[in-house]
Amino acid sequence: MLRERFAEFCSSPSPPTEGRDEGESVSLEMDNHVLLDKEDGCYDNTEAAFSDDEEEVNNKGNKKREFRFHPIKEAIIEEPADITPYVDQLDDTMKEKVLQLQKGSDTEAHCEVMQEIVDLILEEDFDSEQMSTLASCLAELFKGHFRGDILPDEITEESLEESVCKPVCLVFRNLCQMQEDNSGFSVLLEMLAELYQKQPKIGYHLLYYLKASKAAMGKMSLYESFAQATALGDLHTCLMMDMKACQEDDIRLLCYLTPSIYTEFPDETLRSGELLNMIVAVIDSTQLQELMCHVMIGNLVMFRKDSVLNILIQSLEWETFEQYSAWQLFLAHSIPLETIIPILQHLKYKEHPEALSCLLLQLRREKPSGEMVKMVLSRPCHPEDQFTTSILRHWAAKHDDVLGEHIKALLIKNNNMPRKRQSLRSSSSKLAQLTLEQILEHMDNLRLNLSNTKNSCEFSDLFSLAEEYEEPSSKPPKSRRKAPASSPRSRKGAATPVSNEEESASSSASVGLPTTTSFLYPV
C-alpha cells in the first residue's frame, strides 16, 4: 500500500520467489485489522536467532522484499543571472565592468572587478541616478553568495578570512577603510542601502563581516551608520530584522553573532526580550550551553538589572523550552535574585510551572531576605500550590532564625495596619496584596507540613489565630477549621493573654508576636 501511494519514494519491489503459495498473499482490500494465526507462521516453534545481514529469510523459506525509502532531494538549479533589463541603463564604463562580472566564475577576478566598480562609484562624476540600477545588477549577479551557510564548519582565523573574500565584501572593506567624514563614505553607504532593498540578507552579512574580518576590527559601529542610511532609518528596527533573517537562514551564525551584537548594541538588545526570544526559539541544548559559557566567561551580557524583570515577565508567554533557556541564561549571570523576585506576583501555579520551578530551585540556594519572604508569602493560598510551603519548609530547616525574624517583622507591620486597609484590593492592579490573614494561612500550611518532623511547632496559638482571624462584618471563610484538640489551648483552656489578644485582634496591639519565631524551633 505504501508503494502504491508513495511510489516516488520507494524502490521497485523484488519479484516474489518461485513456489510462493497464492494463499500466502494478503489482500490489499482487507480491513484495518490484519488477521494472522499460528498456522500462517506468525508464531514459530523454531529458536529465535538474529537474521542474516545480507538476506532475511522467513520461516517459509521465502526471501523478504527489500523496502527502502529514497528521499527526494530538491536540486537547486542555478539559473544564469539575467541583468538585461538593467545593464543597458548604465553608462558604457560601468556597463563594461558589470558585464565582466557576469562572465566567468573566478572569485579573485570578480573581486578585482568589484574594486574597480567601487572606484568608479567614488569618482566625482559618478551619476548617482544609476545607483539603484547598479544595485539591481549586483543583487542579481551575487545571488549565489547569499545561499547556504557563510560560517565555516571549523572556525579558525584562516577559515574566517577566507569566508569574507567575496566580491560583495569589497564594499564592506572599503567602508571600513574610510573615515566617516569622507565624501565617498556616504556614497558607498547609499550604494549599500540600495543593495539592501534588493537583497535584505546583506544586513546580517555585513554584521558577519564586521565580526569575522581582521580589516573590520573595532568597526562594528559602522552597522549603525548603515542602519540609518537604509529606508528603515532606525538601528533597533534594522538590527531586529537582520537578526530575524539570520535566525531563519543560519542558526549557527545567529549564535556566533550574539556576543558581539549584545556587546556593541546594549541599548537595542537589552531593553526588550525580542532578540532573546529569537535566540531561545531556535537554539538546541548544546548552543544554549555555549551561550551560558560565554556569559560566565564575560564575553556576553544578555540581561541587566533595569530591564531583566520586564524581559522575564515577557517570557511567560513563550514555549516551555524557550522559557527554560531564558532562565538558564539569566542564572548564568551574577544578577541578585532579589532583582527579579517580584515576578512571583505574576506567576500562577497552573499557568507558569517553568518559571516557578526555576525560581524554586534558585530560592533554595539563597539565604532569605525580607523582600524574598514578603514575595513568597504574597502568593495566594491554594491547596494545590505547594510553592510557598516548600520553600518556607526549606528555609525553616536551613535559616530558621533569619526566616523567623522576617516573618515576625511582616506580622507586626501588617497587624498594625487598619483592618480595612489590609483587606483592600486595588481594582487597577492584579498583583497579590499581602495581608495578615494570608501570612497566617501560609504559616498554618507550614505547621501542618512540619507536624511529623522534628521542627514540629511548639506554639499552636499563633496558628489558631489564622483560623479565628476574621474581618468585621464579614462571613467566616470556607476554609476555617476548629482549633485542634491537641493544641495547648484545648489542653489547658483558653489562657487569659491569648483571650485578650483575640479580643483586641482588630486593634493595633500586638498579637503575641514576640513568640512567632518559635514555630520554627523548640523553645
Tens digit of each residue's pLDDT (9 = 90 or more) over 153-172: 999 999 999 999 999 999 99
Instruction: Specify whether 113 is located in the same domain as 143.
Output: yes
The helix/strand/coil state of 450 is: helix
* Predicted local confidence at residue 124, as pLDDT: 79
Average pLDDT over residues 173-196: 89
Instruction: Specify whether 142 is located in the same domain as 250.
Output: yes
Is 421 domain-assigned? no
Residue pair 326/315 in contact by the 8 Å Cβ criterion: yes
Structure-block grid coordinates of residue 263? 556587546
Instruction: Specify whether 263 is located in the same domain as 301.
Output: no
Structure-block grid coordinates of residue 110? 570578480
* Predicted local confidence at residue 512, as pLDDT: 41
Sign of CA dihedral 471, 473, 476, 482: positive
Instruction: Specify whether 121 is located in the same domain as 243.
Output: yes
Instruction: Specify whether 155 is located in the same domain as 258.
Output: yes
- Asked if pLDDT for residue 149 goes beyond 70, the answer is yes
- Asked if pLDDT for residue 27 goes beyond 80, the answer is no
Length of the chain: 523
Instruction: Specify whether 142 is located in the same domain as 266.
Output: yes
Average pLDDT over residues 493-511: 36
> pLDDT for 71-85, tens place per residue?
665 555 556 567 777
More confident residue, 401 or 473: 401
Instruction: Specify whether 208 is located in the same domain as 87.
Output: yes
More confident residue, 369 or 476: 369
- Threshold 0.75, pTM exceeds: no
* Predicted local confidence at residue 455, as pLDDT: 53
The helix/strand/coil state of 487 is: coil
Task: Tell me how many domains the chain contains.
Answer: 3
More confident residue, 207 or 19: 207
Say which residue the cell 507536624 belongs to: 451
Instruction: Specify whether 248 is located in the same domain as 103.
Output: yes
Instruction: Specify whether 412 is located in the same domain as 318.
Output: no
* Predicted local confidence at residue 89, as pLDDT: 84
In which domain, by residue range, is 104 found? 80-270
Instruction: Specify whether 173 is located in the same domain as 242.
Output: yes
**To the nearest 10°, the Cα dihedral for 106, 112, 114, 115?**
160
Of 214, 237, 270, the position where a domain reaches its end is: 270
Split at pLDDT 50, 70, 90, the class of 523 is: very low
